[in-house]
Amino acid sequence: MSSIKEYLTNDHRRCDDVFAKMEERAHNSLLDAKELTQEFIANMERHFQMEERVMFLEFETKTDMTMGPTEMMRQEHSQMRNLMSQLLEAIENDDKDKFFGLSETLMILLQQHNMKEEQMLYAMAQQHLSAESDRIVEMMDSLVVE
Amino acid sequence: MDFNGLSIDQAPPISAPLRFFIMAPIFGILVGFLLLFSDSATLMNRYSIDAIVVVHLITIGIFGFIMLGALTQMLSVLAGVNIPKIETVATFSHAALLLGLFSMVFGLEMSNTLLLRLASLFLGSGFLVIIGSMLYAIKGVQHFTASIKGMSVALIFAFMIVLMGVYLLYGYSENDITGLHYIVANIHSVWAVFGFAGILIIGVAFQVLPMFYVAPRFKQFCKKRVVLLISTGLFIWMVLSIFAQEHTLYAKLWVTTFFWAFATTVWIKFNKRKRPVSDVTVWYWRAASIFLTLGSFLWIYDEFFKHEYIVMVGILIGGGFVLSIMLGMLYKIVPFLVWFHLNALGYMTIPTINEMINKKFSRLQFLLLMLSLVGFIFSFYMSEFLIPSSLFFIVSMAILEYNILAPVWIYHTTRKKKPDFDMSAFSMT
């Protein structure tokens, strides 16, 4: 079983790959990219929920830091959710410029967010939750997205 | 574990990097005008006063300002640490570097002892305060990634080249130019280009290329060894230039091999990137790879021609490699910072980062810069190329200033409106 850090970091890379495919498809036709955009958003939502409903809660319970870094990560999740919903709107309006403007913004926001998580939060979570690592990874793995 | 930088509350204020970024193209315009009214023969002598002035307006005014501005921001994102009292440090260093640079320019041109002493004081304190603060902040990093190691080593080189620079300025102020002065000047310039700028760029590339372009990751050997190997090469080169000048070629070969390999690797990584976008930032990275390759080879070739081509090497590596990367990064950083800070303040209806900078203007700016760089190289042989190239450079820098100011303007006008959401509930302070 991989560690919390490895599991969530690998999931970041999976989302990046779908993002790249989505952009590639969108270059040819926005409408053709709709399915991949939905897939990307679904993957991201699953990742966010694995963190918000499992890992962050465990971390907060263990460290008593409820208004700390996890809250800030939730805030950035909400920024990204907002951008992702606009991506779908851009597809509906067949507005390529808007789509790529949003995807570029999302990409940078996403990457700097991932970097903070991978280099700080996950490392910290792994340190505090190492004894429960397997259980937490299993819970994240079996999560049903709401 | 330090969580500074995880939130907007503790992120560096937007003014810290922007104050540096906004000034850089202004120095570029100034350089363009100086070149326009210069004599190409004088500029070809790297130790002529005019050449020293132009080079430092570029290296301190453009490169230094962009790199320091970017580092104030990057340390919090890449390393998770914040520079202590960042606002005070950035304000002080920015002002001191501005005063120092102008004192240096006028002090050298007018051979004025007082101005040159002031230049040593302002440039020395301006650089050392911000570099020292950054190194102090990095001390708190618990997970040293390859990028952070690269940044740290680059900052240590920066610290040393500043000390050498102060010594060199002191030499001019006392009119005491000895043989040692030229040796130190040579080490100062080579370490500035390869040790500070070069290693910083390599360190940042380890993180930025896979992230922003979904390019393949760098191999563990690159991430773990290259910065160390280049630093060792630069150190050996320094020892040889002091004690065995005739053998410096071996150390040069060592250093350039890694930079050439880096240039090639960047090119290949862009070819293999999963993200197909090809914007001006990609063009800048690609141009930088080409210029770095040419510059590295010419630096070696130059060894056999009594350093006749050293100024051309400077144009290729300084202008073509370092400046290209700096501008490629600026086009990503500035609009993102504006978007990120506004969004975190609760503004939801703001332009996306692609809408903040006019694509046509950024492409034109790139094209003009490339034309000017090629023209500067040709003016080495045909002096009539200097005037059109300088004009291209001036216009390119003016467009760059506009491209930086446009998102900053959006930031200021948006801040005057009421946010869509009250974000004070998220405040940790």
Q: How buried is residue B242: exposed, middle or buried, by Cβ count under 10 Å (0-12/13-18/19+)?
A: middle
The answer to whether B421 faces chain A, any CB pair under 8 Å, is no
Q: Do B352 and A102 touch (CB under 8 A)?
A: yes
Measured between CA atoms, the residue of chain A closest to residue B329 is A108
Contact B272, B215 (CB under 8 A): yes
Who's near B84: CB < 8 A, 6+ residues apart? B133, B136, B137
The answer to whether B339 faces chain A, any CB pair under 8 Å, is yes
Q: pLDDT value at position B343? A: 83
CA distances from A122 to A35, A143, A144, B203, B308 (A): 31, 19, 22, 22, 53
Query: Residues B222-240: pLDDT tens digits?
Result: 898 999 999 999 999 999 9
Q: pLDDT value at position B212? A: 83
Q: pLDDT value at position B426? A: 47
Q: Would you say residue B41 has pLDDT above 80? A: no
Q: What is the mean pLDDT of residues B212-229?
A: 90
Chosen for mutation from B4, B7, B145, B410 (greatest number of chain A CBs closer than 10 Å) is B7
> Which residues from chain A sit within 8 angstroms of residue B3, using beta carbons?
68-69, 120
Query: Residues A90-117: pLDDT tens digits?
Result: 999 999 989 999 998 999 889 889 988 9
Portion of chain A with pLDDT greater than 70, in percent: 99
Q: pLDDT value at position B9? A: 52
Q: Would you say residue B299 has pLDDT above 90? A: yes
Fold adopted by A4-140: Four Helix Bundle (Hemerythrin (Met), subunit A) (1.20.120)
C-alpha Rg value of chain B to the nearest Å: 21
Q: What is the mean pLDDT of residues B241-260?
A: 94
- Full residue range of the structural domain in which residue B359 is found: 277-413
Measure in Å the smallest separation between the Cα of A111 and chain B Cα atoms: 6
Q: Return the structure tokens found at B426.
A: 């998220």
Q: Is the ipTM of this complex over 0.90?
A: no
Measured between CA atoms, the residue of chain A closest to residue B342 is A79
The continuous run of DSSP H or E covering B194 comes out as none
Q: pLDDT value at position B349? A: 80
Q: Would you say residue B7 has pLDDT above 60? A: no
Measure in Å the smallest separation between the Cα of B413 and chain A Cα atoms: 20
Query: Residues A55-86: pLDDT tens digits?
Result: 999 999 998 887 778 988 998 899 899 999 99
| Confidence tier at B245 by pLDDT (50, 70, 90) | confident
Domain assignment of residue B326, yes or no? yes
The answer to whether B277 faces chain A, any CB pair under 8 Å, is yes
Domain assignment of residue B70, yes or no? no
Who's near B303: CB < 8 A, 6+ residues apart? B248, B249, B252
Q: Which of residues 55-74 of A touch B (CB under 8 A)?
A: 67-69, 71-73
Q: Would you say residue A41 has pLDDT above 70? A: yes
Measure in Å the smallest separation between the Cα of A72 and chain B Cα atoms: 6
Domain assignment of residue B358, yes or no? yes
Q: Do A107 and B1 touch (CB under 8 A)?
A: no
Domain assignment of residue B226, yes or no? no
| Alpha carbons A137 and A129: distance in angstroms, whole number | 11
Split into its structural domains, chain B has a count of 1
What are the boundaries of each domain within chain A?
4-140
CA distances from A71 to A57, A58, A65, B341 (A): 11, 13, 9, 17
> Which residues from chain A sit within 8 angstroms of residue B273, using beta carbons?
20
> Which residues from chain B sit within 8 angstroms of residue A23, using beta carbons?
275-277
Domain assignment of residue B400, yes or no? yes
Domain assignment of residue B213, yes or no? no
The answer to whether B80 faces chain A, any CB pair under 8 Å, is yes
Q: pLDDT value at position B2? A: 42
Q: Which of residues 88-107 of A touch B (CB under 8 A)?
A: 97-98, 100-102, 104-105, 107
Specify the pTM.
0.89
CA distances from B267 to B257, B273, B292, B384, B415 (A): 15, 10, 11, 33, 40
Count chain A–chain B contacts defined by CB atoms under 8 A: 99
Q: Do A120 and B6 touch (CB under 8 A)?
A: yes
Q: Would you say residue B110 has pLDDT above 50? A: yes
